[in-house]
Structures are given as structure tokens and as C-alpha cells.
Structure 1
Amino acid sequence: MSISRNRQRRKNTPPREAHAADDDLLTASAEHTDQAPDVPDDDHDDNQEQPSKPQHTVRPNRMAAMRELCERLMRHVPPELAEMPRWGTWVRLEKDGKPTKVPCTIGGRPMDHHGFDATLPQVVDAVLGCRQVSVDGISYSAQASDRIVFVDFDHVATRPYDIESVRPSVRDVLRNHFGGTYVEWSQSGHGLHVLCRGLKSDWRCRAEIDEHSRVEVYCDQPAVMTGLLIDGHPSQLANCQDGIDACYNLWFPEPAPRETSVVTVDDAAWRGWDRPLTADDDAAIRSIVGNHHPDVAGLWYGERRGDRSLDDFALACLVIHEIGDRDLGRIERIMRASGLRRPKWDERRTVDGIETTWLRMTIVNAARRVRANAAAAEQRRREREAAEARGGGAVEDDRDVAEADDAGQVNGEVPDADIACDGDRPTELLTSASLDEHAVESAGSESGGGDGGDD
């Protein structure tokens, strides 16, 4: 099927009702309507009353199901999303005894989803041009730099494809915050996919809504697309930062305090720094790179911003924010896997009367700054709660806090929450006006002289 034919169908084909067997996209009928599902003639009974709600259909052959999926996606996916080179396919494979959706090439060969480089029309034409379909569906994979967020609501509808059966809190968020952007049903009809423009409000990805439902928020993960557009939602991407923030405010609890250690440059505190990266290290790196502002990914891969000392300090803060400072050797191990690594990290320095390296001195100063900012943030929180309890002088919300901090900056008082180490917005350290001061501190004040920062 050519791209032009796909687009013509997208414009001219009226939607029909989509019906799918739980967690199996290939059993889905083509589109969304109030009519009963189409079934093969030999299974059809003209005298049988047709159901008013979606029912399981007779499983079509794989090519027919894939053709319906492709037509549905071409008709409903926002054009600006369809033309982005972020599309690929997926297959269902057994992994550790459980079915897993694995990103694949068009030919069905597993691959890293970051390698998706085709537009949706290109994937559709390639899939439909194959004699035998070897994939189970089509995926979209955003990158952090795209500033497109995928919100995945799992098991929020008690009845498949029935918006009235969706959890009230989720329905309220959809109505109040995501009404102007693309929202589709999941494969089973019990979940929802939201695609919108914005940035993650937090580094965390998953949270429980209740004992049966959960929400996941991603900016750098593959999304299994169905094209089952929910009635009333447009085929477009809208900026829904308020909706993303609402998800975090509603369902993501405050993180538990991380275990901490005595921050010291004593060699005994740095055991394991030279070991190979572990699976947990890899997971932490993926979280650092994929779940923050795009500048963070650039920093990890070695895109410096002019001041090398400042970049080293910023990366140390990010790693500490992700894993805590209990295992200093692990912090060093992870940092040495980044693109910022350079010979200067091994130069000798003196901190607290102990000879150490440049990198360890930077990590120690970053850890101390993280702790100081966390303590300051906690103190401000307690002061706000006390003011609210007294019934006056309370700062109403985060916007007021930001305005208060801005006012302090204007009046010559530099707020001390700019290093993104106060537990909620780690990427602010990349643009903080006060970070230069901390980088200089890392480079010189505790090193017995130092070199003044940039080199």
C-alpha cells in the first residue's frame, strides 16, 4: 500500500468500532463504532441479536489484522508524530517464561528501540509490502530530546473500551488536562495511552493508582500503538505539561529518604570503584539519561558546555540524586562510564587533609551540596506547614514558592535550592545561576588551591 493511498484512507474512511481480545492486538477489528463487530459470513447469524458493547471476534489471519492496524494508525495518529523517524515494530517473545513485547526491525529481528529510524508511512508500506508478516504490531519510540511524553494508564477501565468505567480520578485528569491531545485505548481495552508534548515532572516512571491500576510516565521508551482513538480526542499533540504535573501530584508519593554514608575521601569508602558496571548500574544510567531534560543525556554522552569543572560537578549531582551517596565507589564507577571522563579526574588533590583524586574531590563536594540543599528544602517545607497551621503567611503552592525564590534572587538573596538536589527537580542544576559558585568550590576551595575551575 502506498503512502498516498494510506493518507487518502486516513482522510476518507469513517471510523468503525474497535474490538480486541485482551492483550492481543491482532484480534482487534479495524475501528471504533456503535455497530457490532464484523465476523466471517460462515459464523454470522442474521437472526442473532448483535451486542452493543465490544466483544471478542474470530481471530483474523495475521496479514488482515496487520492491514487493519496500519490503516487505523495512518488515519488516527497525529500527522506530526507519524512523520517523525521514530517508528518500528515489535514481536511477542517468551522471556523468563513470560510473554514480552520486544522492539524489532520490520523483518522481525530484535533491536534496540533507540534504533527506530523510519516514519510511520515507511513502516506501514514496508510491513504491507511483505509477503508474510513476521511482526505482531507497530511501535513508536520517543527520544528525550523530542519533548514528547507517553503516559500509560494500566487496568483503569473495568469494562473494555468503556470510558464511563474508567477510574474517576483518571477520567478527571483526562477531561481536565488531556482533552486536547491524542489518547487511545490499549490493546486490551482496559488501559489508556496518552501522547502529548511536555517534560517529565520527576525522574520516577511508575506509580500505583490503586491496588488494581497503575500509571507510567516515559519520555524515552517504546510505546505499542493501537490507533484506537478515544471518542472526543483529536488526532493531534498538545502541550499538556499541567496534565503531566497532575499525574505526579496525584499518584507519585514523595520518595523515601535514601540511605547515606559519611562523605569522606578515605580510600576505604570507595571500594568497588574499579569493578565492571552491574545491572543495577546500567539501570541507573538509563534512568539518568532517559528520564530528565535532554541536556542531561548530552552531558552524559560528553557534550560539554564550556566549563569542564562545572560539567563534572553537575554530573556528580545527577548520579547522587539517582542512587544516593551511600556507596561512593559506585558513584565513581558510574561517572567513569560517562563521556565526560578525562585524565584530569586522576590528578591528585588534598581534601580534609587526605590525598585523593580530582574526581573524588568533586564527588565529595557534590554529595555535601546535595545534603545541604535537601536539608534546606526540608526546612522550607516545615516552615510552610507551620505557617499554614497558623492560618496565615503560608505559601500556597509551588508556583508561589518559585515566585518567592525569584523575589529573593532580585533582592540579592540567592536561594539555595538551585542544585536540583532537594528531591524533586534534578535537571535544574544544568541552568542554575548559582552552580558556577559550587563548581569553583569543587575545583578549588577544598583542594588546597585548585586550578580555578575550567581547564
Structure 2
Amino acid sequence: MMGYELIPAELKQLKQWVCWQAVPDESRPGKMKKMPINAMTGGGAQSNNPDTWCDFDTAVGCSQYYSGIGFMFANGYFGVDIDNVQDEIEDYKTGGNGNIVAEFIHSLQSYSEYSQSGNGIHIICKGSLPKTGRRKKNVEMYSEGRFFIMTGNICSEYADINHGTEKIKYLHEKYIGSGSAPTTGIIRTIPLNLSEAEVLQLAEKSKQGKVFSDLYAGKWDTYFTSQSEADMSFCNMLAFWCRCDEAFMDQIFRSSGLMRDKWDRKQNGSTYGKITLHKAVKQCNAIYEPHQNYTVSIGMKKPEPKKIYTFDDTGNAQRMYDLFGASIRYSYTDKTWMYYDGRRWKVDDTGETKRMVDEMLDFMKSPEQMILYSEDEERLKEYRKHIKTSRSSKAKTAALKEVEHFVPVLHSELDTHISLFNTVNGIVNLRTGELCSHDPNQFITKIGLAEFTEKIDCPIWNQFLNDIFHHDKELIRFIQKAIGYSLTGSTVEQCAFFCYGTGRNGKSTFLDTISHMMGDYAVNIQPETLMIKKQSGGANSDIARLKGARFVTSVEPNDGMRLDEGLLKQLTGGDRVTARKLYGNEFEFSPEFKLWMGTNHKPIIRGTDIGIWRRIMLIPFTATIPDETIDKNLKYKLRQELPAILNWAVEGCLMWYREGLKMPTSVQQATNRYKSEMDVISYFLDACCDDCGEIQASQLYRAYKEWAKENGEYDGMSNTRFGREISNQFQKIRKKDGQYYMGVSLKKKHIPYNISIV
């Protein structure tokens, strides 16, 4: 039963299970196919015969004799199968959200698992699918007549079977489609007491009468690139004039010059003609009323005045703006396009804006646009020529270039609401804990990977925290508030969290789980970014990635690396930072993130001032998880609890707003020990000096350099800085032969350091 324990209990309770066996596919020599097996008889199972299905336990028990188990779709469940997406899966596993795998998983928010080949995913939901279209390219959707091979190899944090009827509509339209977007037009038939001749006479006298007459006569090539487009346009007109009476519409169409054999061709259980008529009726939102004058607007949902655009790049840009302006923005700073995906603004690294240009060009060919220019034949020819010219790559690029100044966006306009946290099902107000709808006007570019629900029970997470923190309730409460604080964009605490401990103590799992929950809000940076560098350049491109981030992790700096204390103060102190993305311009931003460093080696800190040490919070990870108790699936189990962990974090945020962080005893003690370990001058004074007498300043500095070099502590501390640190502890006076420190002297026994003393 390897892996099957993670299959949702809801599915296990259904009697819709089979086994399966790989057998040669006779229709494809050399290929194998997956045959469903009746676990009770060993014969073939049938997708339309529930008598050949069995319960979960029976299927699992018999699976040892076959290739595995499968789930038959029926009774209000549907499945999505996405195949041959190896690269997208790898991107998804490393936190990428701009791929088809992440899009389906986070949109449907239901149980998901990797396919048997490992090159695809399966998602199972409750509900129903749109009526048309079940497969296109590598995406398939089924609610009956098919089965899924089940692996139990989960690939998301969604552990339950959730409803997906509404959520699947957009994905179905985008990846499979039915030829047109869903409409809510008039679908009823309203009798019309007019003859065919009277309807033709009325239509030909309307403002679009010439187009109607030409189409009725079969003269379509002036207006459209294909007769199918003309058929659809003419039927749209007929739906209006015939008051959605499909029989009457069919009668007039058959008498027109557009009639051809294709009209009665079998198609999808119907005919081409019936499908076209029904589609026209569904799209119709206005019908002819006697004794009123009408202008026919084909295929448009709203009787708005029609806008005429110039036949050049500027006209195309204006058209692009009118169609998609609310959903796109251009950053002159980063030289990149952004688009709103329904939940957040994304950098367009997949060509979405270019696809919008293609959609605009398709719209330009639509009947409702063609008719705008139909009264002037020369003007219509000019328009058709412009469409053809606009389809070139150069023209598309020019149109996009022109749109840029219509929709500019600045870094300062993005992610400005520090008390809001975006999730897959809405925006959480962190001050109140309330969920509100996604809103493009908030200009949020980040999104967490967990949905926000009322579920707050996360037993595995709570047990994990107890295990790694030795049931220290004070420390665990602090951790909850610290993670809650990290949900926000506030940096009022001006601190960084160092998670320190040797191996097998849970800190990596802890940071990985929170990072996954945070989604786009989490960023990992190389430890070298935060350490002293031999050479420093201009604006840092690694720092530029931190704009808008809230949870920044860095792991395992090399032993002996020294922290860039000035940079840490800048990043945690609320000061504006200058950064530059690769090939972009420099920009400034105020950091919103909290730094969480997980390490087995404490980075070297040479500063002793309160300005650096008040920022450090060293969290001790002192537990050691025995090998025999390590749960290799713990990471995946915790991901199933992410919605509950998010609620735990939001509760922590509300606690933080009320109480502040309040460093617990264990963190305070660990941080103080860390500070003592880093105070090299105190080490030197304790080891080599007495707190009496006096010594010349230059002699004490030479003695310090020798001691530091011998003990591996010498780091180039200047005489000036050394003098400043010593002067904070001892009185300094001037004598004839130089500066002296009072109340300190070298111990006589430390001969190597007792330099030039007579």
C-alpha cells in the first residue's frame, strides 16, 4: 500500500476503484496501454458498468497481482490530467508559479498527485465540467467514461477533494475551449407574425442593410476571410430579426446564397447548421420589436457607441488599451510588462501581453468590427489591408511599444499595503484577520500558496514545534508571533532571526514549510549577499529581488564568514535601499522583509555597539532528531496542513499587533552568548591583561595584533578602531612619550605579548 495512505479518505469511501494492468496496444505496435481490471474477478473493468468496480481496500489488496490501482469517474467527481510537463513540474517544485502545473493546482485547490510516469499531474475535484470539449493537446478533463491511475504521490498542500465547478470554467475555456466565451444571451423563442419576405425587407432597410443583403446573396468575401465567419455573422443578424426562432432562422438561411452542403454536415452529435444557429441564439442579447428603428450590433454584449481607430500603430495601441488596459502595466524601470492574472500582478515572462495582441488582432477581424467600416467599400478594403499589415511581428512589437506610455507603473505603486497578505482565495487583512476579494487596484504582486480558511487545527505542525523546541511554550509562542510579524510588510521590530543548531534539528524543515506557505512573499538569497566582500560594486541585483518580499531566507554561510553589519542595519532598519535588476535601471525601495538565516555556523560579527546586537535574535535549535524517528514524508504532511498553518500564522500576527515580539528567555540567553563569543577585544583583555596599572596605547595595540594573529582572530582591526573600543572601557591620558590607558596592563606571564616593556 506504498503511498496510498495520502489518498483522501473521501475517495477511499467510494466504490469506484479498479486495478490496472499494462498490456500491449494492438493499434500501436510497440506501445503499451493501461487496461482497467475488475479486482473481484480479474476480468476487464468497464467505465460504464459500476458492477465491475470495487471498494478501495479490495483494489489495494489485489493490486499486488497487477500494476496498481485506479479510480473511475462518476457520481459528481471530475479529473484533470496534464501530461508531458516535466520542465513545468521541476519549476513548480522549486517554487515557480508561472507555469501550467502551478496554475491548475492553485486555481482548483483540490487533491493533486504526480502521474505514474512522473511527467504529469492528476487533479480530482467534486462538481461538473463544462458541456463541450474534453481534450486539447496535453490537457484532458473527464467526469465519466475514464479512470485515473492513482499513485498517492501528492504534489500539493491541498489534501481534500474540493468543489471545482466554477473554478474549472476559466481553465477549460483557456486550455480546451468551446469556440467562444460563455454568454448569457436570450435563448428563448419569441413568435414573430411576419413572413420571410417581410423580415428580409426590414433587415435590408436597416443601417446594416447592405451587409445583410450582400451576405444573403452569398457575397461574403468582401467582409470576411472565411465563409464560416460569414455564416456566423449572418446567423447573428437572423437571431435579432427572427426573435431567436431557430426554425425560422434556418428557413431564411437555406434560401440564402450562403447555403451549402456543410450546413447539414454531421458534427458533435448534431449538424454544423444547428450548432451555428444555437450559438447565435445564445449570443443574442436584443431582439427585434415592431415599430422601432434598430441598428444591428453583431456579437456585442452591450449596445455601446462604436469607436473608430486610426489605421496605424497608435490606433492599434489605443485599441489594445481599450481591450486590455485594466489588466496590463509597463515598468520603465525594469523594462518589463506586467499583467493581472485575477489574483495578483505578475511580471510577464511567458508572453501573455503578446498573446493579448493576437487576441486584439482576432477581434479586429470579428463581424462587429468589420461592420463598422462596411458602408464605405474603399474604407473596408483599407481596414482589411491594415489588419493584414498589423499581423507582422514588427507591427505587433510597435503596437506594444506604443501602449507602454498608456499604462506605466512605478515601483512605488506596487505592494504598498503592509498589513495585507494575498492568498489563493482572497486577501487577508492582517490587522483584523478578515478575508476580502482579490482586487487589481491594490497592485499586489505577491501571493501565498495556502488558502485562508476557518480551519485552525494543525496537529502535525504543533507536534513538530513541540519536538524541535522541547515543548518550550514561551519559545513556541514567540515563534508564532515572529512568523505572524513576517506576514506583514512592517519592519518596526528592526531585527533578524538567526536559526542556529547542528544537523537533524528541524530548522530546515521549519524554514522550508514557512517559505512554501509564503509563496511569492518568500525569497531565498545566497549567504554571500549578506557577508563582507572583498570588492563592492554599485547597486546589488540580488538585493533587487527583495522588493516586496516579506520572508527572506539564507542558509549555511561558510564557517568563518563575516557578516556585513552595515548592510544588515540598512536592511532591517527601515532605511531605503538602492538596487538594480539585471539590465534594469536603479531604483530605491524600503525593505519590508524579515531575514531568517538557518545555519550550523554563526557568522562573525565584529561590532560591539548596540546598533548591531539589538537587531540579532538567535533562536536555538537544540533538539537532535534520532535517525529511527525521522519521518521522510514529514515535509509533505506539513504541506497538507498549510491552510491551517496560515491560520496559525495569522493568529500569531494578531498577537504580535497586541503584544509585540518580547524576546523569550531562551532567545535572550542564546543571543547574549553569541555576543560574548564575538567580542574579540574582551577575549584579549581577559586572556592577556590585568585590570590595574597602565600601558602605552601603541604597546597594547601591538600586543593585541600578535595575540589575535596567533589565535586566528586577526581581521585587520585598525589602530583607530581598537583605540575607540578600548577607550570605552579605560581612561586614556597623554604623557610626554605618548598616549596611555589607565587601569589596564599586560600580564607578565604573557611574554609573547609583553612587547618592549622595560
Normalised by the shorter chain, which TM-score bucket? 0.3 to 0.5
Q: TM-score, normalised on structure 1?
A: 0.40
Greater relative CO, 1 or 2 (CA 8 Å, sep 6+): 1
Bigger radius of gyration, 1 or 2? Answer: 2
Q: TM-score, normalised on structure 2?
A: 0.25
